[in-house]
A and B are shown apart, each in its own frame.
Chain A
Amino acid sequence: MARLDRRALFLAGLGALAFSGAARAHHGWGSYDADKALTLTGTIREPLYENPHTGLKLETKDKTWIVVLAPPGRMRNRNLTPELMAAGKTATVYGYPHKTDTSELRAEWILIDGTTTQLR
């Protein structure tokens, strides 16, 4: 390869890297603040057992959180059935609040009816 071609390749690589930085900002656990882990206990409202992620509203004393859980396939594998996370039950979750949406929490584990389920 001539020198110019190498330089073009290098620039293209740099450009691609710059763009991919944006990808990390949004996806998965990256948008949640692991330094501010919380344990919340409350009442399950509106459980949603659907792809791509299950979730529920957790009504605590202070406020109602939107709690993001695992995809339904993983929930099933770990015996966290829709029946177990039924509305009205008490649940405790440990997780991380969203960095910008202060009502959302991504759960690391959830405790319902004496059963703790890891969600990662």
Chain B
Amino acid sequence: MEHEVQAAPWLLWLQNGQVGQAMRQSIVLYPAVEVLHILGMAALLGSILCMDLRLMGAARAISATRLARHLLPVAIGGFCLAVPMGCLLFVTEAVALSKNPAFLVKLGLIALAGTNAAAFHLGPWRTAALWDADARPPVAARAFGAASVVLWLSVVTSPRGRNHPSTRISQMTH
């Protein structure tokens, strides 16, 4: 266990707490959390991609602001499911994941995608009334839409990295 002791205390506390133990040892819990995590991501990605396509100039007959009113709650709901479930998956292997470059890249991509969405809402989206329907969205809106597609797809496809039992087994012995 010496290797584990080198990890940050809060990560050890997190991983070895009741939630982490249950996640690792229950046969049903981990797969169930995984399914909910993926469901959340599916809702998030599906709704965001539809909005992005609209921003990029597709389906101009549909009012952009009305479409957003329909899709944004779905995206936020998906996010609110995917994030806590992702946190549970993190707790399962907190020590290894915190040192896993692929996982840190994934977190960075989530931050970038979130920043992109926030910047869009504070920027080009404010003029949405001007190009709400039957008009080509401005370059800025199309660019934010395209960036959103790339970023969110990257978030979902980026691997959480390799920390299979080898990490935990070796942690226990070194």
Contact = CB atoms under 8 A, between A and B. Distances in A.
Contacts of B28: 73
B159 A26 contact: yes
Contacts of A9: 53, 56, 58, 146
B157 A19 contact: yes
A33 interface: no
Contacts of A113: none
B8 interface: no
Nearest to B143: A8
A13 B102 CA distance: 22
A52 B92 contact: yes
Contact of B58 (A1, A16, A51, A72): A1
Interface in A1-23: 1-2, 4-5, 8-9, 11-13, 15-16, 19-20, 22-23
Contacts of A4: 57, 142
Contacts of B153: 16, 19-20
Contacts, number: 111
B158 A22 contact: yes
B58 A55 contact: no
A66 B165 CA distance: 8
Interface residues of B, number: 39
Size category of the A interface is 35 or more
Contacts of B154: 16, 19-20
Given A16-B154, A66-B165, A104-B166, A51 B92 contact: yes
A53 interface: yes
A53 B169 CA distance: 11
Contacts of A8: 56-57, 142-143, 145-146
Interface of B: 23-31, 52-53, 56-58, 92-93, 102, 136, 142-143, 145-146, 149-150, 153-154, 157-159, 161-162, 164-166, 168-170, 172-173
Given A5-B57, A46-B172, 7 more contacts: A11-B146, A12-B52, A46-B173, A50-B24, A50-B25, A55-B166, A103-B166
Q: Give 10 nearest A-B pairs by CB, closest first.
A: A55-B165, A5-B57, A26-B159, A51-B30, A16-B153, A20-B157, A19-B154, A50-B24, A12-B149, A15-B150
20 contacts: A8-B56, A8-B57, A8-B143, A8-B145, A9-B56, A9-B58, A16-B150, A19-B150, A23-B158, A25-B159, A26-B102, A31-B162, A46-B172, A54-B165, A57-B169, A66-B170, A68-B166, A69-B165, A103-B166, A104-B166
